[in-house]
């Protein structure tokens, strides 16, 4: 401050003809002392400039530079603000001082803590420290600064595990409790909004029992304090600091000290004696030696002589220049040639305050201006404590309550805990989340399904009984084999069509039955492959009609057996009522009824291909919808009715004496047929997906093989391997 004032007084362009005077007081960071000094400064007379280098009378103070602490500055500003005396602080950062209703004459050259709090919150968020501890000075600086930070942290989604405060004058037990909270906490990142003088006591207490590794985030008050670098548990500390600056000429000014110069100032005398550990005046009470007079301040390596970079010092420098320019603008006027200052004119303090608001200068490449709240433009430097030469952080520490939820999960808050404490729950079935820390999951579209990680939707696989599958190949092979077997049997019968065993029971019905069985075997192929409109209509109608044709033939053969036995009785003329024409008409009639049922079904509500999304959530079953369940069960019911009727007749004819009588064989074949289709119904209803189709094919093949093997296999065996039994004599032989 003295350097700036002397520099201004020697400047011919700034306040020409006016010399600034000053008086320095030490408030000792004490509010009562600061208040006492403010009353002294406010108790003056009208501001009049006097000629000469010295003032003959004590003038009213034009402005006050100070204080460095927020709490004393609040009290000082309330007092001298009542007298319109401007107070320009170089280090009071409390955001509360921006309130012009309470502090109308307060200005500062250091940014408000509101900006620092926002910067610290964004810094913490940048490194992903969402679970932090908070330590503050129990003062206006710490309490208001931390309150601003907590508001900013909440906006950034940062959670605070604890928030504790202390002051340098607190008992050791209280500071120890604060240290214990830090040691026991789960948060590895700590934001310390602490005054430099308070931080010293906390670090000393922590050094007694060093805590686990912690990431310190510091405010500007202590994060640039070199004395704290010695604490190993502070390594890697990061924070924001006041910009470093260079003040030309200040180094020479500070080092231009000698015993004769410091003797005139009690402050410099105290500094000199402490620096060289000697006394300038002989005192009986002092144990220090008498200074020799040849001490050289330049030989010392102390913070005072380190003048390469300044932080707070530049804030004082700018404050003095801001006041000087305000007084200059209030008292001086610029003419065409020079600037004239009216030294005889009374200067009102309101004028100085008004001109301070308008100050906008650049001093040593550093701008000086104030906004409507008396605050400057905020500039900070990012400070990081590193012992390595590179200064690079190789690993960013982690400080979170809960790890981030990966894609495929959603965040569920833990009951009774802050929002940063949560559980990661997998997305529900059929839903995904493709971002980290997702708050909800999104359902996949209807035809899509999540992958295993549930972070992406993929098209559902379409399932149907394809010819590429082993099961389909096996069923198709049996189908073709059955058709070939029926054709071979028909060929054998045709080759031996004149033999008694072929002619014994209406060979015409036998060939028609073999033809229908061939169709039954082949119709099962329509059930394999991707369903289409035509295949869905064909598979059910072809199955229904061919099976009715088959059962009608068997029914006709059974009736022929019964009629043939009745015809052998004396006086019987029954065969003329059920001759070949009637047999053909019976088959046509029963088959035509099924054709009518199928036609009505296809006209009213035919089967159609559909995507079954309900049986399996994770895949699509491509199947044929029945269209009308009534039509489907009417087709099956009609087949079942004919089968039961045929079975009853076969049972009645099973004990007839003819050796070539096939009633027993028909009985066995119909028994197999009925058993297969009775078991088909529950299997069909309960089988999922493509296995429903497989069950239906199996029922068709099983019943078809049952008919062809039971009815035709014994006859083919006799024709091929026992030809001696293929005679009319054997046929007419009664048991």
Q: Mean pLDDT over all residues of the chain? A: 86
pLDDT at 505: 62
Q: What is the pTM of this model?
A: 0.65
For 507, phi then psi, to 5°, come to: -60, -25
pLDDT at 119: 96
In terms of pLDDT, which residue wins out, 260 or 538? 538
| Superfamily in which the 113-241 domain is placed by CATH | Response regulator (3.40.50.2300)
pLDDT at 273: 86
* 349 close to 85: Cβ distance less than 8 angstroms: yes
Kindly list the domain boundaries of the chain, sorted by start residue: 2-110+310-369, 113-241, 409-459, 470-732
In terms of pLDDT, which residue wins out, 504 or 697? 697
Quote the DSSP letter at residue 307. -
Q: Distance between CA 493 and CA 584 in Å, rounded? A: 19
In terms of pLDDT, which residue wins out, 317 or 672? 317
Neighbour count for residue 623 (Cβ, 10 Å)? 21
Q: Distance between CA 475 and CA 481 in Å, rounded? A: 10
Q: Distance between CA 218 and CA 382 in Å, rounded? A: 10
- The fraction of the chain above a pLDDT of 70, given in percent, is 91
pLDDT at 46: 41
SS3 percent helix, strand, coil of the chain, rounded to 5, is: 50, 15, 40
Task: Give the confidence band of 48 by pLDDT, cuts at 50, 70, 90.
Answer: very low
Residue range 160-165: mean pLDDT, rounded? 95
Task: Give the confidence band of 345 by pLDDT, cuts at 50, 70, 90.
Answer: low
pLDDT at 733: 63
Examine the pLDDT at 45 and tell me if it is beyond 50: no
Residue range 35-42: mean pLDDT, rounded? 84
* 61 close to 315: Cβ distance less than 8 angstroms: no
In terms of pLDDT, which residue wins out, 96 or 627? 96
Q: Which helix H or strand E contains 409, and what residues bound it?
A: strand 409-413
- CA-nearest of 284, 283, 288 to 272 is 288
Give whichever of 132-141, 245-254, 286-295 has the largest mean pLDDT. Answer: 132-141
Q: Distance between CA 413 and CA 405 in Å, rounded? A: 12
Q: Which helix H or strand E contains 65, and what residues bound it?
A: strand 64-65
Quote the DSSP letter at residue 723. G
For 160, phi then psi, to 5°, come to: -115, 120
Examine the pLDDT at 183 and tell me if it is beyond 50: yes
Q: Give yes or no on whether 2-110+310-369 and 113-241 have one common fold.
A: yes
Mind listing the pLDDT tens digit for each residue in 199-250?
A: 999 999 999 999 888 999 999 999 988 888 788 888 889 999 998 888 888 8
The reply to whether omega before 167 is within 30° of 0 (cis) is no
3-class SS of residue 106: strand
pLDDT at 654: 66
Mind listing the pLDDT tens digit for each residue in 349-383?
A: 899 999 999 999 988 778 899 999 999 999 999 99
Numbers of helices and strands, H then E, in the chain: 21, 24
Examine the pLDDT at 24 and tell me if it is beyond 90: no
Mind listing the pLDDT tens digit for each residue in 185-198?
A: 999 999 999 999 99
* 464 close to 690: Cβ distance less than 8 angstroms: yes
pLDDT at 735: 41
Mind listing the pLDDT tens digit for each residue in 88-119?
A: 999 999 999 999 999 999 999 999 999 999 99
Neighbour count for residue 468 (Cβ, 10 Å)? 8
Task: Tell the CATH topology of 470-732.
Answer: Rhopdopsin 7-helix transmembrane proteins (1.20.1070)
Sheet of strand 64-65, all strands in order from the earlier edge strand to the far edge: 64-65, 87-89, 106-108
- Write 479-483 long-range contacts (CB < 8 A, 24+): 479/521, 479/522, 479/524, 479/525, 479/697, 479/701, 480/521, 480/522, 480/525, 482/517, 482/520, 482/521, 482/701, 482/704, 482/705, 482/708, 483/518, 483/521, 483/522
Residue range 536-545: mean pLDDT, rounded? 87
456: which residues sit within 8 A by CB, 6+ positions away? Answer: 432, 434, 450
HSE-up (13 A, CA, CB side) for residue 36 = 9
Task: Give the confidence band of 577 by pLDDT, cuts at 50, 70, 90.
Answer: low
Q: Distance between CA 93 and CA 146 in Å, rounded? A: 12
Examine the pLDDT at 38 and tell me if it is beyond 80: yes
Range with the poorest average pLDDT among 2-16, 109-123, 664-678 = 664-678
Examine the pLDDT at 264 and tell me if it is beyond 90: no
Task: Give the confidence band of 52 by pLDDT, cuts at 50, 70, 90.
Answer: very low
* The domain defined by 2-110+310-369 carries CATH number 2.40.40.20: no
């Amino acid at each position: 401050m003295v350097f700036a004032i002397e520099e201004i007084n020697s400047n011919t362009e700034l306040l020409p003809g006016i010399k600034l005077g000053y008086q320095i007081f030490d408030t000792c960071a004490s509010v009562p002392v600061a208040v006492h000094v403010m009353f002294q400064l406010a108790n003056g007379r009208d501001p009049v400039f006097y000629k000469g280098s010295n003032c003959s009378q004590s003038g009213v103070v034009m402005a006050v530079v100070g204080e460095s602490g927020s709490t004393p500055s609040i009290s000082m500003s309330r007092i001298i603000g009542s007298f319109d005396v401007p107070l320009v602080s170089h280090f009071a950062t409390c955001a509360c001082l921006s309130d012009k209703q309470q502090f109308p004459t307060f200005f500062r050259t250091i940014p408000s803590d509101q900006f620092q709090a926002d910067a610290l919150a964004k810094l913490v968020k940048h490194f992903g420290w969402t679970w932090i501890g908070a330590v503050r000075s129990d003062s206006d600086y710490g309490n208001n600064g931390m309150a601003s930070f907590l508001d900013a942290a909440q906006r950034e989604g940062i959670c605070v595990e604890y928030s504790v405060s202390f002051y340098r004058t607190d008992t050791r037990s209280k500071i120890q409790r604060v240290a214990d909270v830090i040691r026991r906490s789960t948060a590895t990142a700590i934001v310390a909004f602490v005054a430099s003088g308070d931080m010293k006591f906390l670090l000393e207490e922590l050094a007694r029992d060093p805590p686990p590794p912690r990431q310190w985030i510091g405010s500007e008050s202590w994060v640039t304090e070199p004395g704290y670098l010695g604490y190993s548990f502070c390594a890697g500390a990061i924070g924001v600091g006041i910009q470093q600056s260079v003040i030309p000429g200040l180094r020479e000014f500070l080092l231009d000290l000698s015993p004769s110069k410091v003797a005139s100032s009690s402050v410099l005398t105290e500094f000199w004696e402490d620096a060289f550990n000697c006394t300038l005046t002989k005192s009986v009470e002092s144990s220090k030696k008498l200074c020799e007079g040849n001490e050289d301040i330049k030989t010392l390596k102390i913070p005072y002589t380190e003048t390469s970079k300044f932080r707070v010092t530049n804030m004082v420098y700018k404050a003095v220049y801001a006041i000087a320019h305000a007084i200059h603008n209030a008292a001086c006027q610029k003419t065409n040639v020079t600037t004239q200052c009216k030294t005889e004119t009374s200067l009102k303090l309101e004028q100085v305050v008004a001109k301070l608001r308008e100050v906008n200068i650049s001093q040593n490449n550093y701008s000086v201006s104030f906004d409507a709240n008396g605050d400057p433009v905020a500039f900070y430097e990012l400070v990081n404590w590193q012992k390595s030469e590179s200064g690079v952080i190789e690993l960013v520490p982690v400080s979170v309550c809960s790890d981030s939820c990966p894609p495929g999960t959603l965040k569920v808050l833990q009951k009774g805990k802050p929002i940063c404490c949560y559980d990661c729950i997998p997305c529900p079935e059929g839903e995904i989340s493709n971002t980290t820390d997702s708050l909800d999951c999104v359902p996949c579209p209807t035809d899509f399904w999540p992958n295993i990680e549930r972070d992406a939707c993929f098209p559902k696989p379409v399932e149907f009984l394809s010819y590429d599958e082993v099961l389909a190949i096996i069923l198709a092979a049996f189908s073709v084999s059955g058709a070939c077997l029926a054709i071979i049997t028909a060929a054998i019968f045709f080759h031996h069509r004149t033999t008694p065993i072929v002619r014994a029971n209406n060979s015409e019905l036998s060939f028609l039955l073999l033809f229908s069985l061939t169709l039954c075997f082949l119709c099962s192929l329509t059930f394999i492959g991707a369903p289409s409109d035509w295949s869905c209509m064909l598979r059910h109608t072809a199955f229904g009609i061919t099976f009715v044709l088959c059962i009608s033939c068997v029914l006709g053969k059974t009736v022929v057996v019964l009629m043939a036995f009745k015809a052998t009785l004396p006086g019987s003329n029954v065969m003329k009522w059920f001759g070949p024409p009637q047999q053909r008409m019976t088959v046509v009639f029963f088959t035509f009824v099924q054709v009518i049922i199928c036609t009505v079904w296809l006209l009213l509500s035919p089967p159609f291909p559909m995507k079954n999304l309900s049986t399996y959530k994770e895949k699509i079953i491509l199947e044929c919808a029945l269209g009308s369940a009534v039509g489907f069960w009417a087709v099956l019911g009609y087949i079942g009715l004919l089968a039961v009727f045929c079975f009853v007749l076969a049972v009645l004819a099973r004990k007839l004496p003819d050796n070539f009588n096939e009633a027993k064989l028909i009985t066995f074949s119909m028994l197999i047929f009925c058993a297969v289709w009775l078991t088909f119904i529950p299997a069909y209803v309960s089988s999922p997906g493509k296995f429903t189709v497989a069950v239906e094919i199996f029922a068709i093949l099983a019943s078809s093989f049952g008919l062809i093997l039971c009815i035709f296999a014994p006859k083919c065996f006799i024709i091929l391997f026992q030809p001696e039994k293929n005679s009319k004599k054997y046929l007419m032989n009664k048991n």
